[in-house]
Amino acid sequence: MIVLIPSYEPDARLVDLVRALRTADAGLTVLVVDDGSGPAYRAVFDAARALGAEVLTQPRNVGKGHALKAGFAHIEANHPGAGVVCADCDGQHSVVDILRVATRVRDSQAAMVLGARQFSGSVPARSRAGNAITRRMFALATGHRLHDTQTGLRGYPASALEWLQTVPGDRFEYELNLLLEATSTHREIEEIAIATIYLDGNTSSHFRPVADSVRIYAPLLKFVGSSLAAFTVDTVALLVLHALTGSLLVSVLGARVVSSAVNFAINRSFVFDHGRSRRLGAAALRYYALTLALLTANLASLWVLTAAGVPLLGAKVATEAVLFVASYRVQRAVVFAAPHALAAPTGPTSVSPGTPASQESHKRRRSHA
C-alpha cells in the first residue's frame, strides 16, 4: 500500500506526517508529490526524503488534481499491484485514520474508500458550510448520498489506478469529478468515519473559496446555464405559438422541437465531458428518447396545473423545476456518458527514495449508479 501526499508549499507538518507514518509502519511506502512549491520549500522535501519518503517534484504548480494524477502514474509504473491512500499534508488526517482506510481498501471490493469526517466539535464555518452545500448538490445531481464529498483522505485499489488518470480536472474539482464519474460508471463508493481535525482554523489550506468553488461546481453550473438557455427558448416559443394557434398541444410540441435542438447542441459540446466521445447518432437517439419521456410528463403536468387554474407561465416554471433534476441525472449517466460507462467495469487493471478517530460503526455506505 502506498500513501500518496500531494503537497504545495508545505510546512513542518508534512515532515511530522511522514515521520509518524514511517514510525507506525517502517515498511510503508510514502510518496510525496511536490506540486511546484519552488526552491524556498526544498528543505521541507529534503527532510521528508531523509525520513524515507519518495519525493516526486513537479516543475511548476498546476493543482492538486494534477499532482494526484502524477502520483497515480508513478505508482502504476513503479509499484505495480499496489493500492494507494491519498492524504493531505497539513495534519488534517491522523495516522490512525490513514492506516484504517488502507486496511479497508485491502478488505473491500469498493473502487473508492472515503474517510468521512463527522464535522463535530470546532469546525471552521466555511468548511462546514462548503461541505453541506456540496453534499446536497451531489445528492441532487446523482441521487446518491455521501456524508463527506470533500474529504482528502481517500483509498483506491490498484485496479482503479488507470481509471483515476482518465478523469478530468487538475485542481480541487478533480476529487468531486471522481465521485461523479464513479457513480456514472457503476463503481462502488464506501465511507468510513474518521476524526475531524482542523488546525489553526484551517489557515494552511490553499483552497480559494470563489475560484475553486466555481471549478468544483462547474459541471452543475454548466448544466444549469444550458437548461436556462433552453428554458428561455422553450418558454418564448411556447407563448408565441400559443398566441398564434391557441392550441396547447401544438405550442408545447413546437416549442420543444426548437428548445431541444438548442439544448442537445450545448450539452454535447460544452456541458458533459464525454459528450463528443459518444457518436452523434447514438447520443441523439438517447437524448430524444429522454426528451419524449420528459415531454409527456411536461404536457401532463401543464394540463393538470392549468386545469386547476394555475396560469400557463406559472405552470411552466413549476413543471420545469421538477423535471430539471431527472433530466440532468439521465443525461449525465446515460445520454452523454462515455461509451464504456454504460457497462460495469471489469477485472483489475493492473524520484528518489528516500489521536484516534471516532469509533467506526462498520456501517458501509455504498453508491451504485
Give the residue from 56, 52, 68, 57 showing the smallest Cα distance to 20: 52
CA–CA separation, 333 vs 144, rounded Å?
13
Q: Listing from the earlier edge strand, what are the strands of the sheet with 112-117?
A: 54-58, 29-35, 2-7, 84-86, 154-156, 112-117, 189-194
- The answer to whether the predicted template modeling score (pTM) of the entire model surpasses 0.85 is no
- CATH architecture of residue range(s) 2-216: Alpha-Beta Complex (3.90)
The mean per-residue pLDDT over the stretch 25-51 comes to 95
> What's the pLDDT score for residue 195?
86
Band (281; pLDDT cuts 50, 70, 90): confident
Mean pLDDT of the chain: 81
The pLDDT tens digits for 129-185 are 667 777 777 777 677 788 888 899 999 999 999 999 999 888 878 998 898 888 878
Distance between start and end Cα atoms, the chain: 28
The pLDDT tens digits for 195-204 are 877 555 444 4
Cite the residue boundaries of each domain of the chain with CATH code 3.90.550.10: 2-216
CA–CA separation, 97 vs 112, rounded Å?
15
pLDDT of 247 strictly over 70: yes
Name the maximum alpha-carbon separation found in the chain.
80
The mean per-residue pLDDT over the stretch 181-210 comes to 70
The pLDDT tens digits for 303-331 are 999 999 999 888 888 887 778 777 877 78
pLDDT of 252 strictly over 70: yes
pLDDT of 249 strictly over 90: no
Q: How buried is residue 248: exposed, middle or buried, by Cβ count under 10 Å (0-12/13-18/19+)?
A: middle
Which residues are CB-contacts of 366 (< 8 A; sequence separation ≥ 6)?
110, 188, 189, 190
